[in-house]
Amino acid sequence: MTEDSVAKPLVVDFYPGNGLTLDSAESVARATESAGIGGLWALEAPREPFGPLAVAALATSTLHLRTAVAVAFARNPMILAQHAHELARVSSGRFVLGIGTQVRAHIERRFSEQWSHPARRMAEYIEAVRAIWKAWNEQEPLDFRGEFHSHTLMTPMFDPGPSGQSPPPIHLAAVGPAMVKVAVTHADGLVLHPLSSRRSITETVLPVVGDRLDGAFELSCPALVVTGNTDDERDKAREAVRKQIAFYASTPAYRSLFELYGEGDRAAALQTRARAGDWDGMTSLITDELLQEFSVDGAPNQLTGLLLERFSGVVDRVAIYAPYPIDADVLVQL
């Protein structure tokens, strides 16, 4: 599999850096749709993504909507299936369910949930969600029995009935080869990590994805961007992106992305500072070369062209990801 195997036209979406809020989702969604941007992604970090996406669905008519990504292991399959089923209905089929595992520390210590065998658990999780949707949409008895989850009860009182839409595509976020393989074998798409470059995609992802890209399988990537209407705005954006790269690279699960560039020692140093709570000091360890490799820097009206130049031929969708506020006057220029 080579980068030339991805022949679909690249679609550009918008990915608000701190997620969507309930009171901002309507205006952001309408501005995104009016700007001609293909879709809107909702991050789960300081906020949950499903409520704001419901608001966005009701405020728009053509905008592609997705969670990017919802933390699957913080919810059981039934709860996630309910959220996605209703969003499929209210969006008239414009919703994509993007899910991920999160890392062990967050699952166990932030969400107080179980962590074990993540690849095997995720593969079963996806099949459980699909079994629940099938019970609702096709009115078949619910009888899913797995290693980690069992769903065998669905009474009329709790059955929402068919959504009137096809089940939402499930896209899985993955970095390591084991989880990428789960995406390839069980999901409808793969969501790459924001700390991805054209080199990391072509050298580590495309060979694992293989022939799935010749069909309906979708490969997408949030792309860190530096933008603004003034030099001061761009400088502040640049530092915010540098800080975000430092945070990502300090996570052991993502160290391999730095090791590809011979920067494993730098990732280890970032991890040490993160453990000490030196979040600001970490930023200084990100060189200009790493900033350039893992982000796109340009004026608002240049970003789409720069993203097309960097990611065309290796992914199907790319999302403008700014880990800092983007005003409406910037958004309409994208």
Task: Please check whether residue 148 lies inside any domain of the structure.
Answer: yes
3-state secondary structure of 170: strand
User: Whole-angstrom Cα distance, residue 92 to residue 44?
Assistant: 23
Task: Give the domain CATH number at 122.
Answer: 3.20.20.30
pLDDT tens digit string along 139-179?
999 999 999 999 999 999 999 999 999 999 999 999 989 99
Q: Where are the alpha helices (DSSP H) in 4-109?
A: 25-34, 50-59, 77-90, 104-105
H helix count then E strand count, the chain = 15, 12
User: Whole-angstrom Cα distance, residue 192 to residue 84?
Assistant: 21
Of 145, 201, 217, which Cα lies nearest the Cα of 2?
Answer: 201
The band of 47, judged by pLDDT with boundaries at 50, 70 and 90, is: very high
User: Whole-angstrom Cα distance, residue 188 to residue 332?
Assistant: 31
pLDDT tens digit string along 215-273?
789 999 999 999 999 999 999 999 999 999 999 999 988 888 899 999 999 999 999 99
Which amino acid appears at position 65 of this protein? L
Whole-structure pTM value = 0.93
User: Can you tell me which residue has the tokens 């990801």?
Assistant: 321
> What range does the domain containing 121 cover?
11-226+300-332
Task: Please check whether residue 287 lies inside any domain of the structure.
Answer: no
User: Can you tell me which residue has the tokens 């309409």?
Assistant: 332
The band of 17, judged by pLDDT with boundaries at 50, 70 and 90, is: confident
Task: Please check whether residue 42 lies inside any domain of the structure.
Answer: yes
Task: Please check whether residue 248 lies inside any domain of the structure.
Answer: no
Task: Please check whether residue 106 lies inside any domain of the structure.
Answer: yes
Q: What 8-state DSSP symbol labels residue 210?
A: G
CB-count burial class (<10 Å; 0-12, 13-18, 19+) for 289 = exposed
Q: DSSP readout, 15-30? A: EETT---TTTHHHHHH
**Per-residue pLDDT at 2 exceeds 60:** no
**Per-residue pLDDT at 1 exceeds 50:** no
Task: Please check whether residue 320 lies inside any domain of the structure.
Answer: yes
Please, which residues have CB within 8 angstroms of residue 109's CB and are 6 or more apart in sequence? none
Task: Please check whether residue 133 lies inside any domain of the structure.
Answer: yes
Q: Domain count of the chain?
A: 1
In sequence order, what are the beta bridge partners of 71? Answer: 100
| Integer CA distances (angstroms), 168 to 69, 98, 135, 263, 311, in order | 14, 10, 14, 38, 25
Task: Please check whether residue 132 lies inside any domain of the structure.
Answer: yes
CA 86 to chain centre: 20
